[in-house]
Structure 1
Amino acid sequence: MTTRRIDFSRFSSIKIGPVVEVAVLQKGDLPPEGHFLIGHANNLLVGPHPPPLCMLGKDFDDCRIEGERLVIGAATPTGKILSFCKKHDIGGFEFVAKLPGTLGGMLAMNAGVKRYETYNDLLTVTTERGVFEVSRIPHGYRFAKLPGVAFEAAFRLRRGFDGALADALLKLRANQPKAPSAGSFFKNPPDDYAGRLIEAVGLKGHRLGNMAWSDMHANFLVNLGGGTFEEAMALAELAKKRVWEAFGIVLEPEVKIVQA
């Protein structure tokens, strides 16, 4: 096992975090105990003092067809998955267009757009503990409880890439801000939208230091340049407090907050 020195203020999508040594796993390595898996840090907010961290190396960046299954390594970027599916006329992954990150992150949170989700065609996930059928993995809306560190996953092979669907789903992202963020910060409550609730309590565009709730989409916490973990957490807590007071709804983070 090797290590990689990562500056999360440059590496993470929200551009916040310290410089730390991260363990890099290759084929045959076991995940070190007590380490948090970071993926490509697209859905993470890393604090100044995170727990020990690890990530998957290039050995886990792979797409291949095995009979009637599509097998994808957990370190495979979403852009590569989309390109592979286009090239081989495979349906089911049109929703990953412009979705940042890797398959591992998609599996960890059941990433998706509308009704198109990672677990829809999932068959098995391979971790350091073995191969698990999807029926054995608790999952739901933007949630999954993986039995260990995902190394790769197998999906039902569906022929027919739908370019029109990919374009339509891509347009749904047109209202997302371009400034650095970790994507949607809170999960949508049942039958409602976190962005609507945050806007309703007057926080759309609200700024604290160099962090703000985007004036383009209220559920995106954006870094305006030099934003800090403390500023981000203060804004998140303010949104939770105001939404609870106004609507009696508890907002749950979709972003993973990584702090010891």
Structure 2
Amino acid sequence: MLEKIIDFSRYSSVKIGTPLKVSVLENDNEISQEHQIIGLANNLLIAPGAKNLALLGKNYDYICDQGEWVEVGGAANSSKIFNYFRAHDLGGLEFLGQLPGTLGALVKMNAGMKEFEIKNVLESACINNEWLGSEALGLSYRNSKFNGVVLRARFKKTHGFREEVLKACKSMRKSHPKLPNFGSCFKNPPNDHAGKLLEGAGLRGYRLKRVGFAKEHANFLVNLGGAGFEEALDLIELAKTRVLQEYGIHLEEEVKILR
């Protein structure tokens, strides 16, 4: 098993972190239940002492046509998947043109935008060497109920790439900030919007040391320059407390915190 040092202040999308040892997994027999897969670290906040970090290597970066479905390796990124589906006139994953991440994280989080989600197109996934149908994965809004590493997945073929869906997703992204961030910080509560609650609690544009909530959209925690793990964690906890006090609603993080 190969190992490498990754500086997460450069590698992660929020540009917060320290240099840490990461295992590079190239074969199924190297996978352990203890591994914390980092992918492209787009929706992660990684502690300075985080353990068991790993990423899937080049052997898992593939897409192949298997007749009834398309199989995608766990390390394939969203751009690669999007381009394949568009080039082959396949629908259902148009939103990946606007979402970063690798296949494993996209499945684990049931990634999506509005009503467009991974679970709508997913046929099955191989979790720690076991193929499970999409129903068995317990996919729900930005969540799943399975434990383990997504090694590969199969998607249903629906002919007809929908340019109008891509256009709608591009429109949603216009309010996203340019500063380093990890996408939505909190999940939307049932029948409500985290951004609206955060703004109502006075947190849009709020700053705490070197982190803050974006002026463009309150549900984006941004790195204002050289921020550290504890600063981001403190702001997340402050936001949860403010919204609970103001509205009696418990916000749940969409960002994954690895320790």
Shift of 1:171: 1.1
Q: Which amino acid is 2:233 matched to?
A: M
Cα distance in 2 for partners of 1:169, 1:225 equals 28
Deviations 1:144-192 (A, max 9, x none): 1234211100011111111222122111111000110011000000111
Cα distance in 1 for partners of 2:184, 2:121 equals 24
> Counterpart of 1:166 in 2: which secondary structure?
helix
Residue 209 (structure 2) pairs with residue 206 (structure 1): no
* 1:67 counterpart residue number: 67
* 2:13 counterpart residue number: 13
* 2:163 counterpart residue number: 163
Cα distance in 1 for partners of 2:58, 2:27 equals 9
Shift of 1:30: 2.5
* 1:246 counterpart residue number: 246
* 1:119 counterpart residue number: 119
Q: Does the Cα contact within 8 Å between 2:26 and 2:60 map onto a contact in 1?
A: yes
Deviations 1:81-130 (A, max 9, x none): 11111111111110111211111111111000001001111111012241
* 1:173 counterpart residue number: 173
1:140–1:28 CA distance, 2 compared to 1 (3 A): closer
Residue 74 (structure 2) pairs with residue 77 (structure 1): no
List aligned pairs for 1:1-260, cutoff 5 A.
Answer: 1-259=1-259
Cα distance in 1 for partners of 2:62, 2:180 equals 28
> Counterpart of 2:10 in 1: which secondary structure?
helix
Q: Does the Cα contact within 8 Å between 1:213 and 1:219 map onto a contact in 2?
A: yes
Q: Does the Cα contact within 8 Å between 2:33 and 2:148 map onto a contact in 1?
A: no
Cα distance in 2 for partners of 1:9, 1:196 equals 29
TM-score (normalised: structure 2): 0.97
Shift of 1:33: 4.7
4+ long deviations beyond 6 Å: none
Q: Percent identity?
A: 44
Q: Does the Cα contact within 8 Å between 2:60 and 2:73 map onto a contact in 1?
A: yes
TM-score (normalised: structure 1): 0.97
Shift of 1:138: 1.3
Unaligned runs of 5+ in 1: none
Deviations 1:188-224 (A, max 9, x none): 0011110100110111111111100111100000001
1:33–1:71 CA distance, 2 compared to 1 (3 A): closer
Shift of 1:16: 0.6
How many residue pairs get matched?
A: 259
Q: Does the Cα contact within 8 Å between 1:123 and 1:154 map onto a contact in 2?
A: yes
CA RMSD of aligned residues (A): 1.1
> Counterpart of 2:253 in 1: which secondary structure?
coil
Cα distance in 1 for partners of 2:239, 2:12 equals 23
Cα distance in 1 for partners of 2:90, 2:254 equals 29
Q: Which amino acid is 1:176 matched to?
A: H
Q: Which amino acid is 1:212 matched to?
A: G
